[in-house]
Chain A
Amino acid sequence: MDLKLKIWRQASPTDKGQFVDYDVHNISTDASFLEMIDILNDELIEKGERPVAFDHDCREGICGMCSLYINGHPHGPEAATTTCQLHMRKFKDGETVVIEPWRAKPFPVIKDLIVDRSAFDEIIQSGGYISVTTGGVPDGNSIPINKEHADLAMDAAACIGCGACVAACKNASAMLFVSAKVSQFALLPQGKIEAHDRVKAMVAKMDELGFGNCTNTYACEAECPKEISVANIARMNREFIKAKLG
């Protein structure tokens, strides 16, 4: 298949940036979206031009490194799919494909399609863990956990930290990301001890870093490649209120 690409090119964080048009030809429908960009980059290098910089690593949909805002959707048009797992058979021959970086103030563009997502690490550092140290913990089976809660915690823990929820949100809210971590631990007995401090610290850090408020459009859930549920946001709000009252 042949495609027309409009790709955001930006040389540095301070550069203004612009869309540049490219044509790619003879792309196999079995190729992945990132392999299609690999092919474009090979052509650019052969022509002596600067290849398009983009983040990617595992190419299995789990590391959360890949991003890309494709035709108006974080990770492209296919539901529950990261960019690296998106395949060209989902596009039409001759289609124009617009490729942008995540656009959100707390995720500044570094180069072309690469953004800085270290704000997510800062949020986790503010309290997104259980404060146990290595050694001296009880036997694994001494903490029985209701299967339903364990499964819900796993659903929340499946978040890959890619930032699609922020990119999808008109307010650049990080509520889905933060609530997934808060929920995972709030659902487990091990996590309850620090639950109040955790939710307060993480919400405060999220606000401090410039992420916006949640106005319940649920664009985050719709675009999340791991289908993290907005029920986590409701759970976080309950946890937050409990923490404030408690």
Chain B
Amino acid sequence: MTKIDSKIPEGPLAEKWTHYKEHQKLVNPANKRKLDIIVVGTGLAGGAAAASLGEMGFNVKVFCIQDSPRRAHSIAAQGGINAAKNYPNDGDTVYRLFYDTVKGGDYRGREANTYRLAEVSNNIIDQCVAQGVPFAREYGGTLANRSFGGAQVSRTFYARGQTGQQLLLGAYGALSKEIKKGSVKLFTRREMVDLVVMKDGRARGIIVRNLFTGEIERHSAHAVLIASGGYGNLFYLSTNAMTSNGSAAWRAYKRGAYFANPCYVQIHPTCIPVHGDYQSKLTLMSESLRNDGRIWVPKKKEDAERIRKKEIRPRDIPEEDRDYYLERRYPAFGNLVPRDVASRAAKERCDAGYGVGTGLAVFLDFKDAINRLGKDVIKARYGNLFDMYERITDDNPYETPMMIYPAIHYTMGGLWVDYELQSSIPGLFVGGEANFSDHGANRLGASALMQGLSDGYFVLPYTMQNYLADQITVDRITTDTEEFDEAEKAVQERIDKLLSINGTETVDSIHKRLGRIMWDHAGMARNKKGLEEGIKMIQELRKEFWSNVKVPGTKDGINIELEKALRLADFLELGELLARDALHREESAGGHFREEHQTPEGEAKRNDKDFMYVAAWEYAGDDKEPVLNKEPLVYENIEVKTRNYKTA
């Protein structure tokens, strides 16, 4: 008997959310003023939730790690946001968006959550337009759409190559409005370092470190929302921002929140390849480029080798000697197959010796699109991306194909939440990339923005109210309790310990080694032996970190090395859980590819009989193995099939 209750409402799929809203508990305006909510993170999920909850009349305290809420990493999303508007009249419906998302996620997501996501997608577009988000328009003045991977309709709304920026600035505007009104109080340059859970098991506060003063602060509330993003930086090199980290989620895990499907990590196929040891991050080239770009490698190994040696240029290879391998393998979806499929196909070609550049790169070529549409059209569509590519690589993509390779981009795994986006700790809610909920084992392009804003604007404000309705008789929470004392003391001890080690290895050097272990042993292709070795290596590296890391400076004032050390300490634990999850999941599904489980053509092979469940890991102590709780996945509205992108 599982301990897990996903709280999916009764009734037909299309009516569940309406039914929930019709029957949920409400809080009257006078009581809302007496209830406090903490929101950690100001990206799309956190920013939108904080603004909406403030508008409703709750007292909100919102925390961000940067100097301004406008800088959260949602801002870097390029391509677009999906919605089932069917404005292009190409046959889209809410059901089809739901279906594509579940299929894209390789049937490892929860039906009811994903349906709700598709259902509210249209509200998001309306909301953002009303906020003044300058979406791309057709000449007639209506909203423009383009296509993204895993879909045969054009349902992606966009604002040039800066959709995330514009949506985030919309949420930031809404948040700023509430800050001015006084319903939301903003705390910048604060990092959550622990969650405070009371004896009755409810989350009632957080401990944060003030990154300017170094002070450890206590903040209390009736409910806590974590919207702190994903843990992709565990791999050191990723497309995430430098401060993106997994600590808020990890600390919640160590206080009792289940961590779900940590092994589902998205590796994005179109990133600028790694070029040096000193490199600090990888840069994404938007998936939207696959609308017009064609991916290829040379057909002949000797051509690939001559390109790598720079003896010939890509344009010297005649058309008949090019292998457009995605179009060859997946005729129905071609260059627009989902990300996991495109990434694995690139790795397969490079491993077989056909890679270009350093050997770990493939071409993304706009020659045909430029010939067909003209340079001006391509420039209007992707100009900023082409400029960015040229700044980084010194190559001009109008003249020569881009070189790309897969990189860590997004984490589908995250804190386990029920239908209400509440974790296994009552009063702790989780939104956006930080939760596991809507994308199964692989997220489709332009769905992260959709989920962040869906959670923030249209789900959490309802479900958190439902929880808070039972809290109206609870007075303001004091921070003067044993639980706050204990949590603050634990943080202080962790910091003192890190500063006292005074070893020889810098934080970054250990982080780079962790990233290497993760990429080699738990990256794009995984196997039992490699994962077992990886787990041992992580354990050894963790020991080395706690005995030999060098963290200079003091705990007072700005100490960036200390910040990084605290995050890395958590990554060194989270990495092991990720590898354990990958090891236990004896199947391939979405972003999780086990070499032992593939078809003769090299496609992922699921094991629905034994693994059609969410793996929700429960912390049992530092020296104990985590407990695996299983939430069975039931598909009542979709026929579970092997994913097929070869034929329509």
A62 close to B (CB within 8 Å): yes
A134 and B127 in contact (CB under 8 A), knowing A31-B278, A38-B280, A129-B177?
Answer: yes
Contacting B at CB under 8 A, from A119-172, are 120-121, 124-126, 128-135, 137-141, 143-147, 150-151, 153-154, 157-158, 160-161
Taking residues whose C-beta sits less than 8 angstroms from the other chain, chain A's interface range is 35 or more
Contact of B552 among A28, A51, A121, A125 (CB under 8 A): A51
Which of chain A's residues have a CB closer than 8 A to the CB of B130?
130, 132, 137-138, 143, 190
Question: Closest Cβ of chain B: how far from A60's Cβ, in Å?
Answer: 5
Which of chain A's residues have a CB closer than 8 A to the CB of B136?
150, 154
Which of chain B's residues have a CB closer than 8 A to the CB of A93?
none
Contact of B66 among A65, A110, A147, A191 (CB under 8 A): A65
A120 to B172, CA, bound (A): 12
B75 touches A62 (CB 8 A): yes
B343 close to A (CB within 8 Å): no
Chain B residues within 8 Å of chain A by Cβ, number: 80
A125 touches B179 (CB 8 A): yes
Across the two chains, which residue of chain B brings its CB closest to A159? B169
Which of chain B's residues have a CB closer than 8 A to the CB of A63?
66, 71, 73, 75-76, 241
A61 touches B388 (CB 8 A): yes
A188 and B132 in contact (CB under 8 A), knowing A42-B506, A45-B550, A137-B127?
Answer: yes
B391 touches A30 (CB 8 A): no
Across the two chains, which residue of chain B brings its CB closest to A124? B176
Residue among B174, B275, B278, B506 with max Cβ neighbours from chain A (10 Å): B278
B173 close to A (CB within 8 Å): yes
Question: Closest Cβ of chain A: how far from B401's Cβ, in Å?
Answer: 19
B394 touches A89 (CB 8 A): yes
Chain A, 62-106, contact with B by CB distance < 8 Å: what is the 0/1 string?
A: 111100000000000010110001110100000000000000000
A58 close to B (CB within 8 Å): yes
A50 touches B553 (CB 8 A): yes
Question: Closest Cβ of chain B: how far from A192's Cβ, in Å?
Answer: 10
A51 touches B561 (CB 8 A): yes
A125 touches B176 (CB 8 A): yes
B55 touches A190 (CB 8 A): no
Which of chain A's residues have a CB closer than 8 A to the CB of B52?
133-134
B276 touches A31 (CB 8 A): yes
Contact of A64 among B70, B173, B276, B506 (CB under 8 A): B70
A190 touches B129 (CB 8 A): yes
A48 to B561, CA, bound (A): 12
Which of chain B's residues have a CB closer than 8 A to the CB of A81?
391
A38 and B508 in contact (CB under 8 A), knowing A57-B241, A129-B174?
Answer: yes
Across the two chains, which residue of chain B brings its CB closest to A11? B557
A110 and B162 in contact (CB under 8 A), knowing A34-B280, A60-B76, A121-B68?
Answer: no
B242 touches A56 (CB 8 A): yes
B160 close to A (CB within 8 Å): yes
B281 close to A (CB within 8 Å): yes
Question: Closest Cβ of chain A: how far from B537's Cβ, in Å?
Answer: 23
A111 close to B (CB within 8 Å): yes
A53 and B558 in contact (CB under 8 A), knowing A134-B55, A147-B139?
Answer: yes
Contacting B at CB under 8 A, from A17-73, are 28, 30-32, 34-35, 38-39, 42, 45-46, 48-51, 53, 55-65
A141 to B157, CA, bound (A): 12
Which of chain B's residues have a CB closer than 8 A to the CB of A139?
126
A10 to B66, CA, bound (A): 20
B134 touches A58 (CB 8 A): no
Query: Would you give 10 A-B contacts (Cβ < 8 Å), ordered by A?
Result: A49-B552, A53-B560, A57-B73, A111-B558, A134-B52, A135-B458, A140-B85, A150-B134, A151-B134, A158-B160
Q: Which 6 A-B pairs give the minimum distances between C-beta atoms? A: A144-B141, A129-B173, A137-B130, A154-B134, A140-B129, A153-B134
Excluding A31-B276, A117-B67, A125-B177, 8 further A-B contacts by CB distance (< 8 Å) are A51-B560, A62-B76, A62-B165, A63-B71, A129-B176, A135-B123, A141-B143, A160-B165
